[in-house]
Amino acid sequence: MRRLRAIAGLAVLCAATHAQEFEVVSPQPDAVSVTIYRDLFALVTETRTVDLPEGSTTLVFEGVADTLLPQSAVISGAGRGVDESNYDFQRLSPASLLDKSIGKQVLLTRTDKRTGNVRQVPATVVAANKNGVVFRTSEGHEALGCSGIPEMLTFESVPDDLHSKPRLSIRLAAGSAGKRQVRISYIAHGFTWSADYLAHLGAHPGGPADRDTMDLAGWITLQNLTHANFRDAEVQLVAGRLNLLDAEEDRGTSLFGSTSAYSLDEALAEGRAERLEELREELEDEIENGPDVDFYFGCYPLGPQRPDGIDVITAEDIGRFPDDNLAESLQRTSGMELDEVVVTGYRASIALRENLADYQLYRLPVRTDLNARQTKQVAFLQKPGVKIDRFYGVRIASDEDYESYEAYGNTGDDIVPLSVKVAWRNVAADGLGEPLPEGLVRFFDTRTGGLFAGDARIEDSAVGIPVEVTIGRATDLTLDLRGSDDELQPGRFSWLTRNMYMPIHMRIDNAKARPVSVEIRQGKLYDELVGLRVIDANLPPSRKSGDYVWRFTVPANGSQSLSYKVGGKADPDDF
């Protein structure tokens, strides 16, 4: 591929009506840079060297990615004004070739199946559309592929406006002649990346909770779902939530609707993932069947028999399937996924991070080939010994938070499950201090010999942001909300103060042979209560995001009780 560089910028003189109109074709880029976004697209930047003549010139970029969004193209470095740019969606295909041949003369070849005798007749294409082809010979009008005789149309030449490779052409104003480095950037669909984390929770048996650590490793998995190949490309990834408009409604960039319609990051990730699967299928289908499949196979009714279907595949037919390698054939037959997976990450080549506007940009350390339908992985984060907080927690509240346990009105099952929590501060002092792009964190517990301990999704989190995730449900640890002897007391309302309080009694039993750290959070019990207040607690509470919170250690094979009253101001009409 690279040896062709020398002829890049081949100038072709156009013998057109205008004396000073030139066409310069650039067959491929000298250098290419691909910036992949999570939102199913990439920004492709190509540098091409072209030799521009003096007159006004049409510059043709051949071999651009065909999922290109034409209105996103930006051209710089030509040193002249760009009058216009054109992108033809029509590619050279059987369909477009026939369409352009309507009214033109072609050669009809009929082959005798038995003898192999060939007869050729000149014919004129009268109509060609997805319902069939009608042609005219000296005998009269006939429909193609209806007679049961093998028939083929041969064309004299490819029409000038049909090209096999996707091409973007721009018309430049006249200017001084010479070699130029032209840079063209465009958005192309069919790319994505995601971050995954591996967290090995450190073993400090018997040690205090604040000495718990984890080794955090981050991996980027990037995917090229298109059939475009990028040789020796600089690859970047952008993390952050971009405002994107819907591709169909607003001619924007997003294939999964306007991003502002997703208020939660989690919903956005879901919408994106769903569309990703569809897109993968669409692109695969296109690779196998071409962009316009249902063309010129129509015929008039022929009764029960099919016109000329292949009933039996004989040995010699197999070799005619259009696969050029074994992997492709295997895939066709078994539906196996054989996408190449390349793992390039190791400690020495970790992706480098920089700020890009208000996002994070990761740069792959070396140039790499980004091939069609390829998945690549690269490490971007290696942080050993990050200080973490491991504890067990529960939140008691009435709001929609699905992790909350609704205490009021629950009479039967009052053994409340506790969640296994891991929390950290994303600061350098605790061994981290790196922006973390959204992704799935898989936790492994070295205390249990490296067993998988659960996973959790984290959102984009900047330096300085506290992160807290739930990775599972506790065993050998129970919270008994009935307490040791009391039933839940009904709420009491004071007509004087308009305060209403409900007593809460709980006991946490630890059947583990080690002490554990437990966090109890108390939110509002009724939405109707104004203000949240806790009184008469046997342990002093602190506050966390508006909630009251208790943090204590439950000794090995021991228990701890907590009791308090929770409430607020009530409107007497509500009760």
Partner 1 sequence: MRRYSCWLAGLCSAGVFAAGGEDKQVSLTIYNRDLALVEHVRPVNFTAGRQRIEFAGVSARIIPETVSFAASNLELLEQNFDYDLLTPNKLMEKAIGGKVTVIRTNVATGKETSEVAEVLSTAGGTIMRIGNRIEVLRDDSLPARVVFDKVPENLRARPTLSVLVNTDQAAAQDIRLTYLTRGISWDADYVAVFDEARGQLSMQGWITLTNNSGTTFSNARAQLVAGDINVTDSEEMWRQSRQATAQRTAGRESGGQPQLADYYLYPLAQPTTIANNQSKQVSLFDAPEVRASKGYEVSYSGFHSSDAPDSAQVRIRFSNSKAGGLGRALPAGVVRVYARDLRGQPQFVGEDLLGHTSAGSDIALRIGDAFDVTVTPTVLQETRVNKRTTDYQVSYLVRNARSEAVTVTLRQDDLWRVNEVRAESIKGRRTDSDSFAWDVPVPANGETALVITVRQGW
66 to 105, contacts with partner 1 by CB under 8 A? 70-74, 81-90, 102-103
Quick one: which of 27, 55, 63, 132 contacts partner 1 (CB under 8 A)?
Answer: 132
Torsion of the alpha carbons at 381, 383, 387 and 389, rounded to the nearest 10: 40
Rounded to an integer, what distance in angstroms lies between the CA atom of residue 401 and that of residue 420? 17
Residues linked to residue 273 through DSSP beta bridges, in sequence order: none
Angle at the Cα of 63 (from 58 to 68), degrees rounded to 5? 90
Please give the distance of CA 365 from its chain centroid, rounded to a whole number: 22
At 332 the three-state DSSP class reads: helix
Q: Nearest CA to 417 among 389, 443, 395?
A: 395
Measured in degrees and rounded to the nearest 5, phi and psi for residue 21 equal: -100, 125
Closer of 478 and 493 to partner 1 (Cβ): 493
Among positions 77, 148, 207, 208, the unique one binding partner 1 when judged by CB under 8 A: 148
Binding footprint of partner 1, residue count (CB under 8 A): 101
Helix (H, G, I), strand (E, B) or coil at 447: helix
**Hey, what are 357's tokens?**
């506007």
> Which of 139, 277, 324, 485 contacts partner 1 by CB under 8 A?
139
Closest approach of partner 1 to the CB of residue 138, in Å: 10
Q: For partner 1, which residue of 435, 439, 491, 503 counts as binding (CB under 8 A)?
A: 435
Q: Which residue has the tokens 């721009």?
A: 170
Q: Which of residues 533-552 bind partner 1 (CB under 8 A)?
A: 544-547
Tokens encoding 248:
């169909």
What is the end-to-end Cα distance of the chain in Å, rounded?
Answer: 80
Query: Are 9 and 51 spatial neighbours (Cβ–Cβ below 8 Å)?
Result: yes
Binding map of partner 1 across residues 453-482, x = CB under 8 A, - = no contact:
------xx-xxxx--x--------------
Of positions 14, 25, 97, 126, contacts partner 1 by CB under 8 A: 126
* Structural tokens at position 201: 């929770």
Instruction: Pick from 21, 23, 142, 215 the residue near partner 1 by CB under 8 A.
Output: 142
Q: How far is the CB of 231 from partner 1 (least distance, A)?
A: 18
Among residues 302, 338, 343, 451, the one that binds partner 1 under rule CB under 8 A: 302
State yes or no: residue 117 binds partner 1 (CB under 8 A): yes
Least distance between partner 1 and beta carbon 460 (Å): 6
Instruction: Give me the least distance between CB of 89 and partner 1, in Å please.
Output: 5
Between 391 and 444, CB nearer to partner 1:
391
Q: Which C-beta is closer to partner 1: that of 12 or that of 462?
A: 462
Task: Give least dist CB 529 to partner 1, A.
Answer: 9
Which of 28, 32, 37, 370 touches partner 1 by CB under 8 A? 37
> Could you say whether residue 301 binds partner 1 (CB under 8 A)?
yes
CB atoms under 10 Å from CB of 370, counted, come to 27
Q: Which residue, 236 or 517, is less far from partner 1 as judged by CB? A: 236
Residue 82 CB coordination number (10 Å): 15
* Stretch of 58-66, 223-231, 251-259, 314-322 lying at the interface with partner 1 (CB under 8 A): 251-259
Residue of 49, 93, 147, 478 interacting with partner 1 (CB under 8 A): 147
Site track for partner 1 across 389-428, x = CB under 8 A: ----------------------------------------
- Segment interacting with partner 1 (CB under 8 A) among 35-43, 331-339, 411-419, 471-479: 35-43
Considering only residues 152 to 191 of the shown chain, the ones binding partner 1 according to CB under 8 A are 161, 185, 187
The 213-242 contact track toward partner 1, x by CB under 8 A, reads -----------------------x-xxxxx
How many other C-beta atoms can be found within 10 angstroms of the C-beta atom of residue 394? 23
Nearer to partner 1, 29 or 568 (CB): 568
**219 Cβ neighbours under 8 A, 6+ residues apart:** 195, 196, 197, 198, 345, 377, 378, 379, 380
Q: Which of residues 257-286 bind partner 1 (CB under 8 A)?
A: 260
Site residues for partner 1, 477-516, by CB under 8 A, read 498
Contact predicate 219/197, CB 8 Å: yes
- Choose one: 206-214, 317-325, 349-357, 478-486; the region binding partner 1 (CB under 8 A): 349-357
Shortest reach from residue 43's CB to partner 1, in Å: 5
- Using CB under 8 A, pick the residue from 205, 206, 303, 449 that binds partner 1: 303
The minimum distance between CB 492 and partner 1, in angstroms, equals 18
Q: Distance between CA atoms of 115 and 266, rounded to whole angstroms?
A: 66
| Measured distance CA(136)–CA(142) in Å, rounded | 6
Question: Which residue of 79, 290, 307, 450 would you call a contact of partner 1, by CB under 8 A?
Answer: 307
Q: How many other CB atoms sit within 10 Å of the CB of residue 293?
A: 13
User: Are the CB atoms for 78 and 45 separated by under 8 Å?
Assistant: no
Read off the DSSP letter of residue 102.
B
Among the candidate windows 252-260, 370-378, 381-389, 557-565, which touches partner 1 by CB under 8 A? Answer: 252-260
Match 């492994």 to its residue by tokens.
444
Token pair of 369 as six digits: 């080939």
Is residue 243 within 8 Å of 262, Cβ to Cβ? Answer: no
**Rounded Cα–Cα distance for residues 73 and 243 (Å):** 19
* CA 544 – CA 524 distance, rounded (Å): 13
